[in-house]
Amino acid sequence: MEKYPKDFQEFLTFFSTENDCWNYIFELRWPDGYSCPKCGSSKYWITDNKLIHCSECEYQGSITAGTIFHGTRKPLLLWFHIMWWVAAQKTGASAYNLMDFMGFGSYETAWTWLQKLRRAMVRTGRDKLSGDVEVDETYIGGIESGKGKQGRGAVTKTLVVVATE
């Protein structure tokens, strides 16, 4: 079981810097150590702009590649807060709420992100969030088996917040 903050107070101690979030995702994605997606080497170094540089083949990987945060320019720390917030909305977060909370410029952007997050926050085989919701774990890279519920094509390697009722 991955470590996950039990309440918001603990969340703030877990994630107070961008690095905290980066390290957290790193450990979730590569619990047994990093291996280069191109050559499989486990030797790497981290560049100044936080790319994972393979010492063997020079391939540069990104922590967010293949996650829903791929290409985002917003800080991970902000996303972590958003996910916590979305999961904590007992009556469901609305795109308008999210727009205000995130400072998104448009309703469409907020809506798109809310859909992405909602999809990511549903564990395969479990029902969507409803009722009293408590977040209990986060993981990345779950392989979604084709169980039928995943309408819009399987999204693999996604940052997932799992919530229990």
Q: Which residues bind Zn ion (CB under 5 A)?
A: 36, 38-39, 41, 54, 56-57, 59
Nearer Cβ to Zn ion (37/75): 37
Nearer Cβ to Zn ion (62/109): 62
* In contact, 104 and 116? CB cutoff 8 Å: no
Please name the amino acid found at residue 71.
G
**Other beta carbons less than 10 A from residue 48's beta carbon:** 5
Q: With helix as H, strand as E and coil as C, how does 88-157 read?
A: HCCCCCCHHHHHHHHCCCCHHHHHHHHHHHHHHCCCCCCCCCCCCCEEEEEEECCCCCCCCCCCCCCCCC
Residue 52 C-beta: closest distance to Zn ion, Å: 10
Nearer Cβ to Zn ion (56/134): 56
Nearer Cβ to Zn ion (44/104): 44
Residue 51 C-beta: closest distance to Zn ion, Å: 12
* In contact, 130 and 111? CB cutoff 8 Å: no
Nearer Cβ to Zn ion (63/98): 63
Residue 57 C-beta: closest distance to Zn ion, Å: 3
Residue 54 C-beta: closest distance to Zn ion, Å: 3
d(CA 77, CA 112): 19
Residue 146 C-beta: closest distance to Zn ion, Å: 30
d(CA 133, CA 88): 7
